[in-house]
Each structure stands twice: as C-alpha cells, then as structure tokens.
Structure 1
Amino acid sequence: MDTKTVRPPADDRSSHSGAVSSYHARTAHRFEAFAQGPESLDWDAQPAPFRHYVGCNTVDLPRLDTFDSTHLRRGFGAIQSAATVQPLDLAHLGALLQLSLGLTAWKSFGPDRWALRANPSSGNLHPVEAWVIARGVPDLVDGVHHYRPERHALSLRAADAPGVEATPSLSIAISSVMWREAWKYGERAFRYCQLDVGHALGSLRYAAAVLGWTLAEQRQVGHDTLAHRLGLDREADYPARRQPTAEREEPEVLLSVGLGADAPRLDPVAVAARADEATWFGTASTIDPHPMYRWPVIDDVATRTRRRDGTPAPDRSEQTAIRPNVTPPDQGPAVTDLILQRRSAQRFDHVHVMSRRELRTVLEVLDARLPVPFDVLPEQARVDLVMMIHRVADLPSGLYLVERHNDTDTPSRLADTFAEFSDLAPIPDLPLRELRAISPQVLKRVSRTLHCQQDIAATACLALGMVVPLESALKLDPASYRDLHRAAGLIGQTLYLVAESLGLRGTGIGCFFDGPVRESLALQDQGLTTLYHFTLGKALDDPRIETTPAYTTQKEPTA
C-alpha cells in the first residue's frame, strides 16, 4: 500500500491539531476550577465493570494455578534477556492474558466488593477491553474472540471463513469503553483512557517477554479498519436504552505477536476482508442503562486523533536495545509474582527513606533504550521525567531531572529549559541532574498542592512528572496525542513493577493542576507539558480491607 497518500491533507491536520490542543487546554485542572465533570455520582449506578456478549460460545482458559507454570518464572532482572519461546496453545495464551489483563484479587470493605487487575486503571474503572484474533491455535476457533477477565475466558465474536494459511498466528487488540471513565471524570476522561491503554501495553509486553514472545503495533491498520475487524462498527450489536455513546467502544491498538521471530506485519486490506467474510455472533451486554451526562468533546477528540490505513511505521531510531545492570539473571523476585501482587498504594509511610541503591534500580529500568517494555511504543523515548525527591538517602530534597537515556555525558533535551536553575551537573553514580534544592517542608506543601491536595504526593519518597513535547508533536500528527499519553502509561507500568520488586509500592496520579505544574517546572514557554504523574514509597495497608483470590476453583458453566 502506498503510505504516502494516506495522510490527511495538511489543512485537515492543522485543524485537527488545533482542536486537540484546545481539548487539552479545556480539560486542564486549574486552581480556580477542575475540568468539567459530573456534579454528582451515584455509586450504585456505576457502569458495568465487565462486558460480555450474549449468544457467543465461550472457552475457559487455563489459569497459572491449573498447570505447571514453573518454566515461566523469571527474575525481574532477567526480563531483558531472551527467554525460551513457548508454544502457542491455550495454556500459554491464557498465561499471556492472565498476566496482562486478568484479575489479580478481589477486595471488599463492608458491603462493597471490587476486583483488581494486572493492568491498573484510573479510578479502578477499567475502560480497556481486550480481543484475541487467532489462527491455528489448538482448541480455539479461528477468528475474533473477546476476553472476559472476570472469568478468564474467550468468547467467540466472529468465526473466520476457512483460509489457506497454514502458519499459526496471534494478534491482540485493545478497545476502550470510554464511558466508564467519563462517568466519573467527565471531559478529562479521554486522557485517562489513553493512559490506561499505555498501562495495558506495558502489561502485555511484560507478559509476552515471560513467554519469549514479542509484540509489534500494527499502526498501518487504521482505527476504522480495526473497528470493523472487531465488530465495533456493528451498531445493532450494541443496543442502548438512552445514550448510544455510553455503549460504544473506541478502537485503540492492534498488536501482532512474534513467536520466535519478528512479529508479522498485517495488511489492512486483508484485515478488513477477514471481517467481511466472517460469521458474527452475539450482542453486547449493557454498560450503563441510564447515563445522566453527555460529554460530546470526548467523541470529538477521539475522532480527530484516529489514524487511517497505511500510516507509516513509527521511527525506532532513538531506541537501541541494551541489557541493564539491574540484578543478576534469574535472581530477584519473579516477574509473574510481581505482576500478580501489584497494587496501587493508597497511603504512604511519611517517614520511610528510600535507599540510594533502590533509586538507582528505579532509574536503570526507566532507560528508554530497554526492549522490555519500551520497544512496544517508540514514542516513550520522547518522555522525560522531573522528579520531586522527598526522602532518598544521601540526596537533598528538591527537584531533579531524570536522564532516561542514562548517559550523563550528553546534555539533556531539557537542559536549556532548566538552565536558569543550575548548571545541571550530574549526580555521581545516578542518571540525575539537580535542578533546585527545596526544603522538605516546602516541597511537601508544594507537591500536595500541585497534585490536587492529595497526601500521597507529599508522603511518598518521591513524586515525578512525565514531560513531553506536546505542542510540536501535535503539529506533526494529531494522533500523537494518544501516543504520548500511552507512552506515559507505559512508563507508569514499569514504575509499578520495579516498585514491587523493591518491596515498595507506586501510585499513578492523573489529577494535577496543569498550568501551575508547568509554571513550577518552567515549562509554560517551551511547548512542554506533563501528562501523567507518579509516586513511589512504602505503602501502608488498610487492615479493614479484606483480600480474596482472583478466581475460584469452580469454573462457571459455559454461556
């Protein structure tokens, strides 16, 4: 396909870029007011956290505790090295999905009960839905399957017409039920959906690495074609009682899985043809029968950031695979354990001090050149970090610039921005540059204020903001708005797991005052902004909350 002819005309790109910039400004939190959202929430009428399709055959997947999965246990420090390529069968497909998108526990407090998942989500609302497109997998019909995390099962949505291809293949797709986030967060929800997609990409990449598999985004398959392949454009299959947009799903990402070789490149024409020839089954369950609000700006920004078929593959020239010096191979906690035990901290010990060694480990696994998980989304290399360090041994509290390329001999891309604060001398033995020393009391107060008065930003050992060149990126491609948010979520997923490996916990923060943050970091005149913030520290668990296993031993009957 001729990729030179598929870009929107320049005037369309300019119009879309301007509209996306306006959306970002419109949905900023300010000291004077938060972004527009619902005036009240009825928690008893929360959107359904799980979707299923009535009238589809469902196959229960093997869980990690139902077969010998000891061969999948790899130390966190060894995840960057090549692993034995596992066969494509139901057991290992189940492992991929359980370790990336499955449930990890149930929590309960009084009459309330909620699920935790391997992929974290803003407000634990989980807009992400996952799809499997399979061919030649034993005991699985060729076609499109919807993943049901609450049951760890696949429902056949479309059976493909018989083909002549003999090679087994696997693709994973992600869509978003944007209403789940909009129900609580209003107009800012599109941002959070993209952050959640980034977390899902990270969780999928880590799970694939455990299996010796690789992932490659199929960006040349446009959003409309992906929607067609997944059946998301079949309006009759998504009935709505009141508001159609509350029931619809937004196509997000298509990933091709590599099994011992590079992941194959998919042809958009062939992808669409498969959907046309397939036999479809099922009707979507209801997400929200009585939505109280509408946020048209979310649908508008989604439309303006979609890509067409034939989009060129992203530039990976900034990324060179390296092997970090984190921990010796096969030592340290197993990645599978870290994934299943990952939690978001709700409170931090306000006196715990992170060691310098622990901070060095965190910074090493954030190196932009690492293949896992960063090779799944090249835009992550455009994300820099500014860190508010509260309590790290042998480091004064203050503001620091993180060098994600881990090369302190090369000036940071943000060095000119922060030159007024200091000469940006590197910290010995750490890929950090000190920007400004700030007293602990002042830093604690400022950090809490900037993060919507949230204590976790002030009581953590450190908080950080993910800085991106949003203005220049949008001028080139409005769809980069999705990519940069996803890149931030991808980095957040890495922070969650490295925190767990150190006996610490992390928490992603999507609520911060956009303008004041830029002013505090001197970003307002540089075309730079922060898209996502994160905290790390020693978590304090609430003993009143009960934890129970993610899955019972008794399987539900097939629907």
Structure 2
Amino acid sequence: MTVGALAYHERTAHSPRSVREGGHGLNFDNKPTPYKEYTALPARPLADRIRPPQQPALAAVAEPTPDGDPSRERRPTRETLTSLCYYAAGITKVIDRRGRSLRFRAASTTGALYHVDLYVVCNDLEGSDSGGLDAGVYHFDPRTLSLDVLREGDYRGVLANASADEGVADAPLSFVATSTWWRNAWKYGDRTFRHAFWDSGTTLANLLAVAHALDYRADIVTGFADRPVADLLGIDPEREAPLELVPIGAGDLAPESERAVEPIDPDTAPLSPTEKRFPLIHEAWSAGALESGSDAEAWRTSTPAGPVGTRDPGDGERVALEPVDSETASSRPLHRTIRRRGSCREYDREPISLRKLSTVLDRAVRGVPMDVRRGAEQRADPDASGGPARREDEPPLSFVDPYLIVNGVDGLESGTYHYHPAAGELERLRAGEYRREAGHLALDQQLGADAAVCVYFLTDLEAVVDALGDRGYRVAQLEAALTAGRLYLATYAHRDLGGTGLTFYDGVVTDFFAPQAAGQTPMFLYTMGRPA
C-alpha cells in the first residue's frame, strides 16, 4: 500500500484544531539516540587534521558551482572527505547544561534529533601525512569522526547504474543521505517524511558550501533507483531510507556494475528500548520510489524546462534589494560561520537593516544545483555542458516561491512581500505590521512574532506532482529546505543576526498570502532577526 504525496501532505498538515487535539506527551525514557552505532564493524579514522574552508560564507553559499565551472576536474582526498563530513554533519559545538553535555551538529535539524546520516561511496582516495583511504562503502560516525566500513572495494558503479547520472559515474566519491524514521518520529510522528527533506536539505546546504569553498564540483542527484542504493548500504527502507546522492569532484569513470550486490545486514545498537513504526511514512516514501536507473533517467528528463509550482509576479509595487558587493560584504570564513550557527531561541525586536536582509537573500536564494534542473536545461539548450550551472534566463528557484512577512527592517515598510530573486526585487502584497499574525502562522510561537522577517517557501503541490509524480514532492521540499539552509549560513555570516526554522499551520499560511499564493502550500519557514 502506498499513500501519494498529495494525500500524505494533507494528512500531515497542521491546523489550529489538529494541533490542539493531537498533542501527546513525550516518553523521554524511550527517546532514541541521535547516532547510528554499528556493534561489530571495523572503523577507519578520518584525517588527523580538519582543513577549514577559508572562503567567506557569503561567497560559498552564492556559488552554484566552483567559479561557475561545472566541469572542474579535481580529485578529492582523504583530507577533503574529513572536512566535508565534519562541516556537514560533525559535532561542532558542545554545551554543558544542568550537568550534562549537549552535542550540536554542524547543520540545524528538527528537534535536534539528528535523524539524517551520511554514507560515503568512494574510489581510492589519496592522503597526505595520514595516508589515503581505500575504496569502499562507509558510514560517517560523527561521535568519533571516523568511518564504519560497510563494504571494501569500488562500488561507485552501483550508484552510477541506479542513477544513470554522468556526474555520479565519474565522481571519485559520492555521499548518500538517509533518514532513520524513528529518530525523528519519536517526537514528530508521521510528519517525519517532511522533516527528512527539511533536515537533509540543511545538511546538504553545508555540504555543498564546503565542497564549493574547497573548489570541488558538487551537486545533488534526486533521481535514482531507491532499492539498489538501500541494498548497497545494508538498510531497510521501512526503518531507514536513502534520500539524495551528492557526487563530489570528477575523475575516472566508475567500473561497470551489472549484478546486484551481495546483501549485508550489519548489527546496530538499539535506538531506544522500544522502537515504533509509522507505516504512513514508509508508504509516502514508497509512492515516489523508482525501480531502475532507466526509470530515474526518464523521470529526470521529463522535468519541464520552466518553473513548476511557482506563481508569476503580480502588479504590486516593487522594492529593489540593496545587497552589498563582495568587497563590502562580511568576510567571516565558512568554517567559523558553521561553528557559530545556532537556532535562535529568542529575538530582540530591534530592527535589522535592509542592506543586510538584501545581502542574505541575494546570496542564499540563487537556486539549488539538482539533477532535475540540469535535465531541463539540457533540453532547453542542447549545447549545455551537462553540469549543474544555471542558464542566465532560468529562474533561480524552480519549484518554490519565497514570501516574506516583514516586521522589523529599517528602510523597508512592514508588510507582506513576494520575493522575485531573478530581478532582485520584493513585490509588496500588503502594508502594515503583522507580528500577531506572524506568531499565529508559526504554530503560535513567540519567535514568529518577534522575528524581523519570516520567509515562507510555498509551492503549488498539485502542479509539481502532476509534472514530476510523487517523487516531485521530495524535490519541492528539498529545494525549499536547502535554500533555507543557505539562509542560515548567510544569516550567521553576520555577527549581529540570528535565525531559526519553525513549523506552521499549513492552510492558514496559504490563506494569509492569498490571493497571490492561492493554490500553493508552505514547504518551509525560516525566520531571522537580532538574537536577544
């Protein structure tokens, strides 16, 4: 049995009534561990030294590819892999509170439950003083900054066959992001399938920024045969499922791999005393699953050339953004920004500047380098290079629209806006202060009311599913979440700004931004302002 994307989204929508009647207490004695722990696998330490990406964070998040060159052929090393793992999913902050140590990861995730894991499939990687890394399939363990060895040998061909993607085929290493459902569903129940893409999106925003800062090609592959990838990792999609592939760099083609891999089922430590299953999550995941690499290629190349799920600009007054140039912008390095990043727990209502808001939006909302966008470009321009770079006449976002509630920006009238990133303009929808409404939309959380700006990403989900099938739901969620992940980085590149993601009342948000957003549904909410 499967539940389609539209039905799943509707069944997991928040409304004031559903939240009021659906609340349940949390059993902290049964809270799952935020780590996946293999009990009998060998491990390989990563490099002794973490190479910090020195490029300014604002530059790293703004680059869809290194120097705009999608064909750069650089081979990542063991040291590269160490930096990528650490700054995407490593433990970057430890805070002692009330007698216990709280370990925070590099990227924000819902409830700090860290249900997204990274796996690595690689060829032999060279190293420096600490030596190289043999070809294999590995699981990244953030507790020890090491790799659990799942398979020895070059299995990149399995990913290449599953995706039918040239970038995966010649990448020396690829990441696979997964979600272990129970680690998030303990608190959020069936909404975890949404959170899988929210949280992998923020994680991959870090991963892409670090890869590009270190001058490696990297983009995201959303179209692949799911079962072969799950089998390669030795995971059961009813419990843990693959979400995205991220090829890094370029080099020799992966070896041919026509036969199915030998099954593995390595033992892992229990996540909690009682692990519960949520069938709706697996049904929603199954509805968008692909069977083969040829299916993935057909799905990818069926993507319409233009945007899907977005709305054309209206006739409202336009306000031009005022981003600073690269010479004037914050030069805070990416590695320091990632270490500084948090999830703001309280905002001061002191306003932020229009120039800083403009700079954050300008750098972060530039589109996501995904295979579905690339496929559309190649059909629109047969001479396209095949990489993830965006054509000049293509919109920065393909599947979601950013809408803003502005309540505290010097030089910008309070009100609601529709952001048009290609033009660098805000279209005013309504004037006025909407703090009370902003708090209500954000599940009646004070953070929404106190934030200087609330950025909602909305899409016409029916149009997306009609064009891309149920797997299109993943793409729309991911584009919104990864863009929000870049908003996090661009926000925390500024010393006096903070931000956080919040959840929301789905239908109430749609109504609030109507008529411009009629027929659209919210995918993600990001808030920013001055931390109290």
Contact 1:326-1:365 at 8 Å conserved across structures: no
1:119 corresponds, among 107, 112, 128, to: 107
**2:171 is the counterpart of 1:190:** no
2:17 corresponds, among 29, 32, 49, to: 32
Aligned to 1:531: 523
Aligned to 2:129: none
Structure 2 vs 1, CA of residues 77 and 290 (structure 1 numbering), >3 Å: closer, same or farther? closer
Aligned to 2:77: 89
Matches within 5 A, 1:4-403: 19-34=4-19, 39-62=24-47, 66=49, 69=51, 72-79=53-60, 80=63, 82=67, 87-138=75-126, 139-160=132-153, 169-233=172-236, 245=238, 248-259=239-250, 270=256, 273=259, 275-276=261-262, 282-291=266-275, 293-309=276-292, 310=294, 311-312=296-297, 313=300, 326-328=325-327, 332-350=331-349, 352-369=350-367, 380-403=397-420
Shift of 1:140: 2.1
Structure 2 vs 1, CA of residues 456 and 271 (structure 1 numbering), >3 Å: closer, same or farther? farther
Contact 1:465-1:533 at 8 Å conserved across structures: yes
Query: AA paired with 1:391?
Result: G
Tell me the distance in 1 between the aligned counterparts of 2:466 and 2:304.
20
Query: AA paired with 2:147?
Result: L
- Give the alignment's Cα RMSD to 1 decimal: 3.4
2:490 corresponds, among 486, 495, 498, to: 498
- Per-residue CA deviation, residues 280-313 of structure 1 (Å, 9 max, x unaligned), is 584222222313x542211211111222322123
Structure 2 vs 1, CA of residues 162 and 207 (structure 1 numbering), >3 Å: closer, same or farther? closer
Shift of 1:271: 5.3
Tell me the distance in 1 between the aligned counterparts of 2:5 and 2:439.
29
- Per-residue CA deviation, residues 230-253 of structure 1 (Å, 9 max, x unaligned), is 1114x9xxxxxxxxx5xx211111
Structure 2 vs 1, CA of residues 348 and 401 (structure 1 numbering), >3 Å: closer, same or farther? same
Aligned to 1:420: none
**2:417 is the counterpart of 1:434:** no
- Per-residue CA deviation, residues 143-175 of structure 1 (Å, 9 max, x unaligned), is 1100001111101011137999xx882111111
Question: SS at the partner of 2:18?
Answer: coil
- Kindly, what percent of the aligned residue pairs are identical? 24
Shift of 1:500: 0.7
Tell me the distance in 1 between the aligned counterparts of 2:27 and 2:513.
37
Aligned to 2:167: none
Contact 2:58-2:493 at 8 Å conserved across structures: no
| TM score, norm. by length of structure 2 | 0.80
Contact 2:179-2:196 at 8 Å conserved across structures: yes
| TM score, norm. by length of structure 1 | 0.76
5+ unaligned residues in a row in structure 1: which ranges? 1-14, 236-244, 408-429, 541-559
Tell me the distance in 2 between the aligned counterparts of 1:304 and 1:134.
29
Shift of 1:433: 0.9
Query: AA paired with 2:453?
Result: L
Contact 1:387-1:401 at 8 Å conserved across structures: yes
Contact 2:137-2:155 at 8 Å conserved across structures: no
Structure 2 vs 1, CA of residues 531 and 49 (structure 1 numbering), >3 Å: closer, same or farther? same
Structure 2 vs 1, CA of residues 187 and 281 (structure 1 numbering), >3 Å: closer, same or farther? closer
Query: AA paired with 1:95?
Result: S
Aligned to 1:413: none
Tell me the distance in 2 between the aligned counterparts of 1:367 and 1:252.
22
Structure 2 vs 1, CA of residues 134 and 35 (structure 1 numbering), >3 Å: closer, same or farther? farther
Query: AA paired with 1:534?
Result: Y
Structure 2 vs 1, CA of residues 536 and 297 (structure 1 numbering), >3 Å: closer, same or farther? same
2:501 corresponds, among 504, 508, 515, to: 508
Tell me the distance in 2 between the aligned counterparts of 1:118 and 1:397.
33
Shift of 1:76: 2.8
Query: AA paired with 2:523?
Result: L
- Per-residue CA deviation, residues 102-154 of structure 1 (Å, 9 max, x unaligned), is 11111232034322111210111111011011111143232110000111110
Structure 2 vs 1, CA of residues 372 and 194 (structure 1 numbering), >3 Å: closer, same or farther? closer
> For this pair of structures, how many residues does the alignment match?
469
Contact 1:386-1:401 at 8 Å conserved across structures: yes
Question: SS at the partner of 1:275?
Answer: coil
Shift of 1:53: 1.4
Structure 2 vs 1, CA of residues 355 and 329 (structure 1 numbering), >3 Å: closer, same or farther? closer
Question: SS at the partner of 2:259?
Answer: helix
Contact 1:61-1:152 at 8 Å conserved across structures: yes
